[in-house]
Amino acid sequence: MNTQLIQWLNDKFGCDISDGYYKFINVWNDWWKGYHGSFHDYFFFNGKRKIRKRMFSMKMGKKVCEDWAGILFNSKTRIKISDENTSRFIQGRRENGGVFGSNDFLVKGNRLVEKAFALGTAAVTVSLDGIRLSDGKIPPASPDAKIRFNYLSADHIIPISVRNGIITEAAFASEHTEKGREHLLLEVHMLNNKGNYTIENYMFSCDNDQIREEPLPANMIRDFDTGSNIPWFTVLSPNIENNIDRSGGLGLSIFHNAIDALMSVDICFNNFNADFRLGQKKVFLEKSLIEIDDNGETIAPDDVYQQLFSYVNFPAGSDDDKKFIMEFNPSLRVDDNTKGIQSALDYLSFKCGLGNKHYQFNNGTVVTATQYTGDRQDLIQNADKHYLAVEKFLLSLIRSVIYIGRNFIGADISDDPEVEICFDKSVVIDEAAERLQDLNEVQAGVKAPWEFRMKWYGESEEIARAAIDEIQGETEVDLGFGDGGDA
């Protein structure tokens, strides 16, 4: 985050925003990328001078966040909206169209979850493109307007007001490059004295981290009143309590309290690679075996493999002075290093809420589904906790889209439909076993059949009850011949 931008906000709006928290975000960003200079760069002395080396890295910070994103928001995540017109407007007929489809939300939403878990916070801001202005203002409805999403990570989010840990006012900085020149578009979402959100836009040029305010493009208005207290932004953070003071409403990286474990993984992985690098066969030759060419350079007996040879003078009178050739084959310590890496991965997995067996190299050992589920209880519990945060994020975004669609585009959609987020939990639980258990409960009379259909067929209570009534009606057909009938 550009500290000058924060200072500009403080001066412009009379705020007292600190940039201290962004130092943590910068560290998390390093670990997400897999290189944190103060740790991964090290020096050693080769007998003559210090040499700088870079440690091998498994880049597990990114892997952890990728895995959480894959668990929490993937192609099987379903959004069920009770009103058909509203559903089509938001996600199209096949859940890959509408506003979400035009903004590539399935792909970019998954990436946004990854960045939220990496840097502690991510956000989507909603804007309108292609609107027809009237006297510089947005008219009641612009049917040709398009809803656009802007996806932002924590280093582009500046909370302004926070209530009970929830960001209510914020500024969002988007990077734009035009003809090789970098610009920053700053959107400021503030509540006015009517209780409505007002969005103000500002443009800055950037030159060597120096910012300068510039005029807005001709197709962009300075500010407008949205006419509602529904925010045109929504924020996502991992559902974990922040143990850093003065966070300003920003969340905590999923691996903030596991950075020591990330270090341990890379130390073990670096040692594994170093043993292979240093473990090459070495052959020592008595100097009498070498030849000197016309340029005064030494030639090994077999110059094709001369990188294997080192020339030494064996001490006179030693047992080795009669040995013309001697081999040295260093131990690679593969098993020890592998066990060290596995232990480090277990600690990291545990610290990041994935359970202590999420990253396993079993040498071909097959793990049954039941055993897998039993080993993943920590993952299941933590996933259920994070689903709450993702659900809240999606519902807030849908609410914003519905409001904008009805009031600024004039779409024929419901203003308050029932919305249900159905997550794909097959990655953390054994669905077949859970389904069988629910079926047994239905047969035992503990659970109603319509409840089973609601859960496993995604039906509403009304549709599920009607389906069960129809099935039961078919099975209760009178098979007799009627009173007084002949046999």
202 pLDDT above the threshold of 60: yes
- In this structure, are strands 291-292 and 325-328 parallel, antiparallel, or unpaired? unpaired
Each residue's pLDDT tens digit, 415-436: 999 999 999 887 766 666 677 8
Amino acid sitting at position 109: G
Q: Which of 236, 144, 219 is nearest to 185 (CA)?
A: 219
The beta strand positions in 240-389, using DSSP E, are 282-286, 291-292, 298-299, 309-312, 325-328
Each residue's pLDDT tens digit, 151-175: 999 999 999 999 999 999 999 999 8
pLDDT tier at 363 (50, 70, 90 boundaries)? low
Q: Residue-wise over 369-401: b if at least 16 C-beta within 10 A, else e?
A: eeeebeebebbeebbeebbebbbbbbebbbbbb
Distance CA 353, CA 308 (A): 47
Give how far Cα 187 sits from Cα of 169, 175, 405, Å: 11, 12, 20
Distance CA 127, CA 400 (A): 10
Collapse the DSSP code of 185 into the 3-class scheme (helix H, G, I; strand E, B; otherwise coil) and give the result.
Answer: strand
Phi then psi for 204, rounded to 5 degrees? Answer: -130, 145
The beta strand positions in 76-207, using DSSP E, are 78-81, 122-129, 146-153, 157-163, 166-178, 181-191, 197-207
475 pLDDT above the threshold of 70: no
49 pLDDT above the threshold of 90: no
Each residue's pLDDT tens digit, 429-462: 666 667 788 888 888 888 888 888 887 777 778 8
Is 104:98 a contact under the CB 8 Å cutoff? no
Distance CA 340, CA 342 (A): 5
Q: Which of 125, 134, 133, 138 is nearest to 224 (CA)?
A: 138
Least confident of 82-91, 104-113, 138-147: 138-147
335 pLDDT above the threshold of 80: yes
| DSSP code at position 304 | G
> What is the pLDDT at residue 291?
65
- In this structure, are strands 298-299 and 181-191 parallel, antiparallel, or unpaired? unpaired
> What is the pLDDT at residue 302?
55
Q: For the chain, what is the mean pLDDT?
A: 84
Tell me the sheet residues that pair with 128: 147
Stretch (H or E) spanning 346? helix 334-351
Q: Which of 111, 147, 153, 128 is nearest to 1 (CA)?
A: 153
Percent of the chain with pLDDT over 90: 48
> What is the pLDDT at residue 477?
47
Q: Which of 3-17, 21-35, 207-221, 360-374 has the highest mean pLDDT?
A: 21-35
Is 261:228 a contact under the CB 8 Å cutoff? no
| DSSP code at position 48 | S
> What is the pLDDT at residue 476?
53
Task: List the structure tokens of 37.
Answer: 């200079």
> What is the pLDDT at residue 374?
54
325-328: strand order across its sheet: 309-312, 282-286, 325-328
pLDDT tier at 463 (50, 70, 90 boundaries)? confident
304 pLDDT above the threshold of 50: no
Task: List the structure tokens of 205.
Answer: 């040029």
113 exposure class (CB count in 10 Å sphere: 0-12, 13-18, 19+):
buried
